[in-house]
Amino acid sequence: MQDAKTLYQRFNNDLSNLDFGQNPQRLYDPVYYSLGVGGKRIRPILCLMACELFGSNYEDGINAAIGIEIFHNFTLLHDDMMDKADVRRGKPAVHVKWNENIALLSGDAMSVIAYKYICETKSNLRQVLEVFSDTALKICEGQQYDMDFETMSEVSEKQYLLMINLKTAVLLAASLKIGAIIAGANEKDKKNIYEFGENLGMAFQLQDDLLDTFGDPDVFGKNIGGDIVANKKTYLLIKALETADTKQKKELNNWLSLKTFDPIDKVHSIKYIYQNLGIPEFSEQLMNQYFDKAFAKFDQINEKIFNKSILYNYALSLKQRDF
């Protein structure tokens, strides 16, 4: 079994050597661009680790891993259009670098290319495709809920958790399960590794929300407070609105309603309310509950501890990330 660093390098190398097509240029250039701006490659690494954990190898899993990563980047590309987010990983988003029509169509092409790679999977293809398509549709559902939240005055914690489950968690879960399917794992192990990934994904998203507001700006790589500026209904905001007293609620709602404001001032003020309410602690607590559930599911996977350690260490590194 290969460790995360080796898989990351090997995967990136393979990805950068792929030839999807060349003409028309304005269709394919954004595809290479999107995949070239980097990322942690968490989903393909999980897929490949699961594949190796259950006794198969890199070569058997690589096409599915590539398909999953391309699909993930396709969703980011279209999400950035919908969210009017102009920057992705420090570079201009496709709809900014080119235009909206190009972003729309090259995204569509990426989703087809993703399927092309998934379909190159040699073993248990039908099962792989079933999990992949179900997950792809759930991701669309999650994104729609996320957009619906923008115009809702109140979003419950339960609604929020369903949204991040669909938008983020199920793809991490599916990446692992697809690796396990390819390797021919048994039903119980497939279920456990899926639930490990699902809980890991929930924790991962809660952590992302937390880092967006309380991360170290030099390490996190995005502007701290972006969610606050955009009034994004994150766990932090939902929990704050739920626990705030009348005065704090009024102040929060006032910031949310302002059309013009000093962003630094807004971030500072809302962070201050969050801290007074103990929101970072609430958030960390819930996040750790999901990490604990994830590791409990992981313990039930019926493979040798020695083999499991690589995936375990990788999940642990995600838990300890600050970027």
- For a copy of itself, which stretch binds (CB under 8 A), given 50-58, 123-131, 228-236, 280-288? 123-131
- For a copy of itself, which stretch binds (CB under 8 A), given 45-53, 129-137, 204-212, 241-249? 129-137
CA distance 239 to 78: 28
Sign of CA dihedral 266, 270, 272, 273: positive
Q: Which is nearer to a copy of itself, 33 or 115 (CB)?
A: 115
Which residues, in sequence order, are bridge partners of residue 88?
A: 91
Residue 104 binds a copy of itself, judged by CB under 8 A? yes
Contacts of 44 (CB under 8 A, 6+ apart): 7, 11, 65, 66, 68, 69, 175
Q: Which residue has the tokens 């692992």?
A: 176
Binding residue for a copy of itself (CB under 8 A) from 18, 87, 147, 316? 147
DSSP for 212-265? HHHS-HHHH-S-TTHHHHTT---HHHHHHHHH--HHHHHHHHHHHH-SS--HHH
Binding residue for a copy of itself (CB under 8 A) from 9, 16, 18, 21? 21
CA distance 300 to 283: 26
Residue 291 binds a copy of itself, judged by CB under 8 A? no
Q: Which is nearer to a copy of itself, 135 or 207 (CB)?
A: 135
Minimum separation from the CB atom of position 101 to a copy of itself (A) = 5
Sign of CA dihedral 204, 208, 314, 282: negative
Instruction: Indicate the residue type of 272.
Output: Y
- For a copy of itself, which stretch binds (CB under 8 A), given 34-42, 48-56, 144-152, 297-305? 144-152
Binding residue for a copy of itself (CB under 8 A) from 9, 16, 18, 26? 26
Structure tokens at 113: 């290319």
Phi, psi (degrees; rounded to nearest 5) at 89? 50, 45
Binding residue for a copy of itself (CB under 8 A) from 109, 224, 230, 256? 109
CA distance 212 to 233: 13
Binding residues among 51-90 for a copy of itself as defined by CB under 8 A: 78, 81-82
CA distance 134 to 130: 6
Minimum separation from the CB atom of position 140 to a copy of itself (A) = 4
Minimum separation from the CB atom of position 272 to a copy of itself (A) = 33
Minimum separation from the CB atom of position 74 to a copy of itself (A) = 8
Q: Which is nearer to a copy of itself, 15 or 27 (CB)?
A: 27
Residue 35 binds a copy of itself, judged by CB under 8 A? no
Q: Which residues bind a copy of itself (CB under 8 A)?
A: 21, 23-24, 26-27, 78, 81-82, 101-102, 104-109, 111-113, 115-116, 119, 125-126, 129-130, 133, 136-137, 140-141, 143-145, 147-148
